[in-house]
Amino acid sequence: MLHLYSRWLRNSFIYLLILVAVIAIVFAFFNSGSDHPKVAFGQVLEEAKAGDIQKIEVDGRNLTVTYAKEDTNGKPEVKTAKIGPNTDIEQVLTDKGIALSRSTATAANPAAVDLEYKDSSGFGPWLGLLLNVLPFLLFGLFLLLIMRQAQGSNSQAMSFGKSRARLFTGSKVTVTFADVAGVDEAKEELAEVVEFLKYPEKFAALGARIPKGVLLVGPPGTGKTLLSRAVAGEAGVPFFSISGSEFVEMFVGVGASRVRDLFDQAKKNAPCIVFVDEIDAVGRQRGAGLGGSHDEREQTLNQILVEMDGFDTGTNVIVIAATNRPDILDPALLRPGRFDRKVILDAPDVKGREAILAVHSKGKPIADDVLVTTLAKSTPGFSGADLANLVNEAAILAARRNKKIITMKEFEEAVDRVIAGPERKSRVMTEFEKRLTAYHEGGHTVCAFFLEHHDPPHKVTIVSRGMAGGYTRFLPDEETHYRTPSMFKDQLVSALGGHAAEELIYGEASTGPSNDIEQVTRIARAMVTRWGMSDRLGPRTFGKTDEMVFLGREISETRNYSEKIAEEIDDEVRRFIEEAQERARQLLRDKRPILEKLVSVLMDVETLEGETLKRLLASDPNDPWPPSDLQQPEPPAPTPTEPAAPRPAYEPKPPSGLAWEGGSQSRTDVS
């Protein structure tokens, strides 16, 4: 509150200076000019001595001279003059023999004028002073504004070593554990941290040491930052938030200085929480950088290590750090005494996704047909951020369609948008491309439906999305964390279903299955080299991936096997793919009537999903589609209220090239 008041006071002072400057300029402008002609002071003396001047009005150095003669308007003529800064006008007139009052004038000696002094208000000297000082005031004000602008920006010339951590006080709770879902185990671990901050005496009585730091590990979007803010909200303590990249600058020693300043502020506000997001930016292993073993990043890391060791047990300051690359962190950072706890946040399972969707749907008008369980099953691998984006996309779609509530249709559309991208309605497809896409996606769908160890298909569409011409989505019955060779082999068959369908119908495959072939090759190679699923080579891993810690990505692969083993690996990968391709071909030959029926329906409706898709795949190929219970009833014809007025007879002229008979047109359109 005091900060806001002082800021308001500074702004008011600046505005007051600007107002005074404007008033002074306006006042000087309106008082500087005169419409009377100017005359020299010497000429005024000569005219006064000759008796031509009636009155002289003195205003400082300015003289207003009124003549005895009249101008063209019948009024006394008026002119202006100016005297020197130290001139005594009474003494000058007396020396010239000019009386200071016309009452003393005579016919023999007419040299007399009425000398009057203008009653000044007292602003004249001050106004002159202000006008002289005004340019300097404006220049100083300009410099002040520039300095304030520079101070408010990130380029602070005198504060490089100050911490840029953002402070969130615990007076107003914004995020609690109720706002976090899908990570129950992580919440339990961090609930103890809240107890440490709320009731430190409880643990001190038993000799327990408050943990120095907690490391949150998980993929992007799993809720690491949200969970740390929930800890601060539950504990009701100040929360310092900073990114790891904000420590390091181009100047040597800036990062270490910012670390010292951050921890000094934390100690003054204890108990509190210091949250360092993306700590891998400064916490990478030392001596592994491309720039040498002693750089600015390592100095910053060393200072972090020193500060975390320097905490007293009574400071009640807990450091929470987040990263998605724990494998590249320095071992000294992970030892007990610094980051005592490691909390893993993985992608949520189906129950976790259901809980996350319920949290983000709170407060939104959701229709009764929205099935959160189905949405959770449809989004395997989605993180918390992905699910939040999913709900937001559904709300945007509903608003775009001028709906008051969000229905299941918007949620399904949002899932497709997040996975494959928006619909490309502007893409024009020929009849051949449309039918080819239908056979391709139909091949995936039919294979997946009739395979024992594959997730059943949930939706198939031939509408272009993103970079794909069509799209097939599967809905697992239950989520599994382990996969068997049978599952992978069925996945290979389903992935090659589009390629096999194109070969079956057209005798050759197009470029459409290129992504499917890449996926099949990657899975088959991983089955042989990583997961030991080859009977010929046995349970072994082949190849070791090398990476540079400074870059944080794989750059090469070391071969720890011979050329003979490399040939056997290629043979096994080829065998897996060829067996899957042959199974896909045979399955589509056996189920070709179902494939043809599915393609025929897709050419009409373009999209099939849910129970409708399952019923079509399980139906008899000879049964009509759609069945009677899925047919839309035709709207009743409107009953005419009054007979229509008879139209005048009109006999059109037959156009050329058309056959007419008896006034009726007979035409055959060929499309």
Catalytic residue list: 441
Q: What is the 3-class SS of 327-367, one letter each residue?
A: HHECHHHHCCCCCCEEEECCCCCHHHHHHHHHHHCCCCCEC
CA distance 304 to 298: 10
β-sheet bridge partners, residue 241: 166, 275
Integer Cα distance of 73 and 140 in angstroms: 50
Residue (of 208, 202, 273, 263) closest to 236 by Cα position: 273
- How many C-beta atoms surround the C-beta of residue 511 within 10 A? 6
Q: How far apart are CA 361 and CA 153, in angstroms?
A: 38
* C-alpha pair distances (Å), 523 with each of 124, 493, 527, 555: 92, 12, 6, 20
Q: In terms of C-beta distances under 8 Å and separation of at least 24 residues, what long-range contacts does 360-367 make, across chains too?
A: 360/387, 360/388, 360/391, 360/392, 361/391, 364/391, 364/395, 364/406, 365/404, 365/405, 365/406, 366/405, 366/406, 367/405, 367/406, 367/407, 367/408
- 99 DSSP assignment: B
3-state secondary structure of 277: strand
CA distance 34 to 62: 11
SS3 36: coil
Residue pair 195/202 in contact (Cβ under 8 Å)? The answer is yes
Distance CA 248, CA 301 (A): 10
Q: What's the distance, Cα to Cα, between the start and end of the chain in Å?
A: 76
The 457-461 sheet, strands edge to edge: 471-474, 457-461, 607-609
